[in-house]
Amino acid sequence: MRRKHFNPWSLGAIVIAGVVLAPIVAVLWIAAFPTDNIWPHLLSTTLPRYMSNTLVLMLCVGLLTAMVGTGAAWLVSRYDFVGRRWMEWLLLLPLAIPAYIGAYALVDFLEYAGPVQTTLRELMGWQTSRDYWFPEIRSMGAAVIVLAAALYPYVYLLARAAFREQSGSAEEVAQSLGAGALQRFWRVGLPMARPAIAAGVAIVMMETVNDFGTVDYFAVQTLTTGIFSVWLESNNAGGAAQIASVVLALVIILVTLEKSSRRKLRFFNLSTRFRPVARVRLGGTAGLLALASCLVPFLMGFILPTGVIMSHALANLEEWNNPALIRATLNTLTVGGIAAVVTVLAGLFLVYSVRLSGRTLPRLLLPVTTIGYAAPGAVLGVGILIPLAMADHAIADTVEAVTGRNIGLILTGSSFALILAYCVRFFAIAQGAADAAMGRVSPNLALAARSLGRNNAQVLGAVYAPLIRASVASALLLVFVDCVKELPATLLLRPFNYDTLATRVHEQASLENLGDASPAALLVIFVGLCAVGLLARANR
């Protein structure tokens, strides 16, 4: 009988997967065995409101982004009009702006003292708000618009790729049968792109569930805000974990539905000669309408928030020298940089270990580790902070009992918990990039290196590393950008008096001090633009 030797690569892969999955398991455990069970109280009081608001927000944002993203993708893929080449890439730019920054900018633009209402009062001669009607800005409807404006590029990007990959033969057949432009969209283009659109909408809904800054600013009580209020205001970690488990169940349902829709609906190009769809030239009024349809989401999702934030930043130039802003920037660079490096190295190690190992467990754990990206930051905050706090107190008590010294809280009292949350939350990005990059490297190269006496570590460093360097660099940038933008997990896990750019923007804007928040917001937007530029380059 063949004896299985100890394999450090397989062990390392299992350890990494365990660390990624541990917060999810911790949330479920704490929810199942809370110290103070308030589940009946939640069911009879606040949970139905949290749940209904979350579902309404998800459905409305999902529907609006599906309409906007799919419509814009169809226009730039099927028609040629003035400005199409620019709009094809400009429509991606709202990805650079977190939804909470868009929320602060929209309120500042439309509130009573903002430029819109001020101009209306001057033009119409109105004296007070009682002289006219204006829609409520901080409302569910405004939250839907802000989230949709920030998230529609997910649907647009996937839908555009799906429309571009469709064959021109199907369009020509439909046209020869008398189908007009609208009929070809409904009966040919849309059904074939439905899996991609469903995947984009699922991502949008998961991001909507994860959002905290927007809904908190607009006073919309969702499951995510419920986690914060039950934990921080009611001081009940078990209740927060129970709400977090509901969020987790909701996310798992979304992921399952998205995968099911892609599995049940597939289309294949049976022709050996693929011919893309020829764009139809639009001129005159039709071309202007197409351009305007693409401009509206771009203006709402990028120009408006960027313009408002930049105007405040230019009006408060002294804020750029604020020591608090400098500290927040350094903190962001430190924790984001460390988290990006650790996450990408761990993802690379896991993927390489699974490829080396012939065992079943590491291969099964590889796809499961992507659940961290679907889990909202608030859920991970609950799953990380509570177990780490228990471990922290145990370590401190043990050290004090042995040495007589009080070392304090070394895990939760530092940025360790925050970095761990970033690693877990964005591990799927690093893992996916590493898996795709290694899949493009011929196995014969690794076999040749091993035949020359190289061990597994040397093969990784000498063969794979030079060939996947660009993909690794891209993954580093994407993980870093997501760390910079992440708000819920940062609010829950940061040490006392420790700000990042995201938390500084949130705190200053919550105090209605957008002038002090604008430099930090502008830095977040700049970092996001770097990632969007990389994304646009990869999807040319």
pLDDT in tens, 377-418: 888 888 998 888 888 888 888 888 888 888 777 888 889 999
460 in the same domain as 321: yes
Residue 497: inside a domain: yes
Residue 15: inside a domain: no
The predicted structure's pLDDT at residue 345: 93
Give the integer Cα–Cα distance in Å for 179 and 525: 44
Choose the final residue of a domain: 259, 292, 311.
Answer: 311
Sign of the alpha-carbon dihedral angle for 482, 440, 9, 29: positive
Residue 103: inside a domain: yes
500 in the same domain as 450: yes
Residue-number span of the structural domain to which 178 is assigned = 48-268+275-311
323 in the same domain as 299: no
Element (H, E) at 80: strand 79-80
Q: Which residues contact 170 (CB under 8 A, 6 or more apart)?
A: 188, 192
Give the 3-state secondary structure of residue 167. strand
Q: For residue 280, give the DSSP letter.
A: E
AA identity, residue 444: N
Residue 531: inside a domain: yes
Bridge partners for 280 per DSSP: 79
305 in the same domain as 326: no
Give the integer Cα–Cα distance in Å for 380 and 482: 15
Q: Which residues contact 61 (CB under 8 A, 6 or more apart)?
A: 144, 147, 148, 151, 204, 205, 208
> Of 376, 338, 364, 369, whose CA–CA distance to 432 is shortest?
369
Whether residue 12 is predicted with pLDDT greater than 90 in this model: the reply is no
Helix axes 416-425, 469-485, angle to 10 degrees: 120
Helix axes 8-32, 416-425, angle to 10 degrees: 100
361 in the same domain as 341: yes
Choose the final residue of a domain: 311, 333, 364.
Answer: 311
The predicted structure's pLDDT at residue 396: 83
Tokens of 457: 């570590």
264 in the same domain as 364: no
Residue 41: inside a domain: no
pLDDT in tens, 148-175: 999 999 999 888 888 887 766 666 666 6
The CATH number given to whatever domain includes residue 243 is 1.10.3720.10
Q: What is the dihedral of CA 510, 514, 517, 523, to 10 degrees?
A: 130
Per cent of the chain over pLDDT 90 is 38
Bridge partners for 276 per DSSP: 167
Q: For residue 369, give the DSSP letter.
A: T
518 in the same domain as 428: yes
Residue 85: inside a domain: yes
Give the integer Cα–Cα distance in Å for 132 and 121: 9
pLDDT in tens, 450-464: 888 888 888 888 888
DSSP string, 175-223: HHTT--HHHHIIIIIHHHHHHHHHHHHHHHHHHHHH--HHHHHTT---H
358 in the same domain as 232: no
Give the integer Cα–Cα distance in Å for 169 and 277: 8
Whether residue 177 is predicted with pLDDT greater than 70 in this model: the reply is no
296 in the same domain as 349: no
Scanning the structure block, which residue is given the tokens 């903190």?
331
Residue 27: inside a domain: no
Give the integer Cα–Cα distance in Å for 499 and 517: 12
Give the 3-state secondary structure of residue 354. helix
446 in the same domain as 410: yes
pLDDT band at 523 (very low <50, low <70, confident <90, very high): very high
> Of 266, 251, 264, whose CA–CA distance to 28 is shortest?
251
Taking residues 290-316, report their average pLDDT. 94
Phi-psi label, residue 408: left if phi above 0, alpha if psi -120 to 50, beta otherwise: left
> Of 28, 33, 51, whose CA–CA distance to 225 is shortest?
51
Sign of the alpha-carbon dihedral angle for 437, 440, 444, 445: negative
225 in the same domain as 86: yes
The predicted structure's pLDDT at residue 1: 40
Identify the weakest region by mean pLDDT among 63-72, 364-373, 436-445. 364-373
Tokens of 231: 């934990």
pLDDT in tens, 94-111: 999 999 999 999 999 999
Higher pLDDT, 539 or 99: 99
Total of domains in the chain: 2
Taking residues 453-480, report their average pLDDT. 86
AA identity, residue 393: H
Phi-psi label, residue 219: left if phi above 0, alpha if psi -120 to 50, beta otherwise: left
Give the integer Cα–Cα distance in Å for 484 and 138: 26
Q: Which residues contact 198 (CB under 8 A, 6 or more apart)?
A: 257, 258, 261, 262
DSSP string, 254-277: HHHHHHHHHHH-------SS--BP
DSSP string, 122-139: HHHT--SGGGS----SSS
> Of 114, 496, 471, 205, whose CA–CA distance to 331 is shortest?
496
Give the 3-state secondary structure of residue 281. strand
pLDDT in tens, 48-90: 999 999 999 999 999 999 999 999 998 998 889 999 999 999 9
AA identity, residue 342: V
Higher pLDDT, 452 or 492: 492
130 in the same domain as 196: yes
The predicted structure's pLDDT at residue 362: 67
Give the 3-state secondary structure of residue 415. coil
The predicted structure's pLDDT at residue 231: 85
The predicted structure's pLDDT at residue 2: 46
Residue 20: inside a domain: no
Scanning the structure block, which residue is given the tokens 């659109």?
197
The predicted structure's pLDDT at residue 64: 96
